[in-house]
Amino acid sequence: MRAYRVTEIDISGIRKMFELAGEDVINLAIGEPDFPIPEEAKEAIYQALREDFTHYTSNKGIIELREALAEKLKKENGVDAGAEEIIITSGASEALHLAFQAFINNGEEVLIPNPGFVSYDPLVKLAQGKSVYYPLRFEDGFIPDIEDIKKRMSSKTKMIVLNSPSNPTGAVYPEEIIKAIAEIAEDYNALLVSDEVYEKIIYEGEHISPGAFSDNVITVNGFSKSYAMTGLRVGYLSAGDELLEEMLKVHQYIQASVNSTAQRAALAALGSKRFIENMVGELRERREIILKLLGGIERVRVNRAGGAFYVFADFSAYGDSQYLATELVRAGVVVTSGTAFGSLGEGFLRFSYATSRGNIKEGVGKLKGYLEDKI
Ligand SMILES: Cc1ncc(COP(=O)(O)O)c(C=O)c1O
């Protein structure tokens, strides 16, 4: 009954962990900021409803939002995209889907990070492409090694996926690495998909968009992380007009247009700079708390990553990641097994600190209690 392409993919490992979790557990597996959306965004939705702004919008998205994003991309990212070179999508998730559906042919290769965001490989498979993993190593601070990428390029390579700041590692890639990867993509006439959803959540380092120095880049971003708007499902992509037209065809038929009121909310959110400052300020404090707590556990290696809201810590001294994560749920704390993000996640656990300081302390306390019982 099932189509071949869905037999190739499975339900996300993260969802499975949530299903195991009972009422009383502390959740350190959350992939979304625990902040309410900006007040301006709420007000924009109420206003949109009062105006009956509840119909289809232009397929590409409301022009005011695309114009505001074109300005933002130019000013903050150095990406020269006009409003016509932007599509508003249903989250960054849809933007990634459009990029893969529009450009990957059967059997063509896509370089994706390992460990990397859970959706990349299934989305490549849905497009009937083939994932080729480039490793990210603890020893390198989870920054890609250019030689690893070069070695994996071939005449079959259609696309490279880059994600800085990274989920699950939090690593913020330096400019020279991003430039070098953009050059490799150009040399092989491959597309570079740059997933920048954590761009605003940076504590050390600087966000660099490859779209600032290369034309064959599809820049993917969204409002889920920067403005805590996960449930409103607004993302966007920008690319040169020829690339954009192909992705627009897919978007038109699978989505038509994004929720009209949510687009208004996104436009209002862009104007609320203090929101990001406050959120990142609080996340910065939590980051120090969790790094200190995890760093104090014997035989655990912790990487001080510059961005996102995750710590990807090496627990290999305590056994198999999936087993450990399952045991921890029973001990009252949900974390994500590193293997949910690829084979090189073995030995690692991902901790999200997008939760209260109290939960962080209690959750890591439960983890310590479990480990001490084992020693
Ligand atoms: C790296 C990365 N890209 C994309 C997404 C999808 O975000 P959205 O809610 O905008 O679809 C996520 C969400 O966790 C993510 O971590």
76-108 per-position pLDDT tens digit: 999 999 999 999 999 999 999 999 999 999 999
Nearest 10 degrees: CA dihedral of 357, 358, 361, 362? Answer: -150
pLDDT, the chain, mean: 95
Least confident of 18-27, 246-255, 326-335, 338-347: 18-27
Among the candidates 228, 246, 271, a domain finishes at 271
Q: Which band of pLDDT confidence, cut at 50, 70 and 90, is reported for residue 373?
A: confident
In terms of domains, do 138 and 178 share one?
Answer: yes
- Residue 14: pLDDT band (50, 70, 90) is low
The ligand 1 site (C-beta within 6 Å) comprises: 31, 91-93, 117, 163, 167, 195, 197, 222, 224, 230, 235
Q: Confidence class of residue 13 from pLDDT cuts 50, 70 and 90?
A: low
Looking at the structure, do residues 32 and 53 belong to the same domain, yes or no? no
**Residue of minimum CA distance from atom 14 in ligand 1:** 31
What pLDDT is attached to residue 107? Answer: 92
One domain for residues 294 and 170: no
Tens-place pLDDT, residues 100-116: 999 999 999 999 999 99
Q: What pLDDT digit, counting tens, does each position of 284-328 carry?
A: 999 999 999 999 999 999 999 999 999 999 999 999 999 999 999
Residue nearest to atom 13 of ligand 1 (CA): 31
Distance 117 CA to ligand 1 centre (A): 8
CATH code assigned at 360: 3.90.1150.10
The reply to whether 219 and 278 lie within a common domain is no
In this structure, of 44-53, 223-232, 265-274, the range with the lowest mean pLDDT score is 265-274
Of 243, 271, 299, the last residue of a domain is: 271
pLDDT at 16: 67
Domains contained in the chain, number: 2
- Choose the residue to mutate in 167, 220, 236, 263 for probing ligand 1, maximizing ligand atoms within 8 Å of C-beta: 167
Residues 262 and 346 in one domain: no
Its domain, for residue 65, covers 39-271
Instruction: State whether 23 and 123 are in the same domain.
Output: no
Q: How far is the centre of ligand 1, averaged over its atoms, from the C-alpha of 161 (Å)?
A: 13
Give the pLDDT of residue 83.
Answer: 98
Residues 114 and 44 in one domain: yes
DSSP alpha helix (H) spans, the chain: 4-7, 13-20, 39-50, 63-72, 91-103, 120-126, 146-152, 175-187, 241-254, 260-270, 273-295, 321-330, 357-374
Looking at 271, 294, 327, the residue that finishes a domain is 271
The whole-angstrom separation of Cα 208 and Cα 143 is 14
> Same domain, yes or no, for 162 and 195?
yes
Q: Do 92 and 221 contact (CB within 8 A), yes or no? A: yes
Within this chain, do residues 154 and 177 fall inside the same structural domain, yes or no? yes
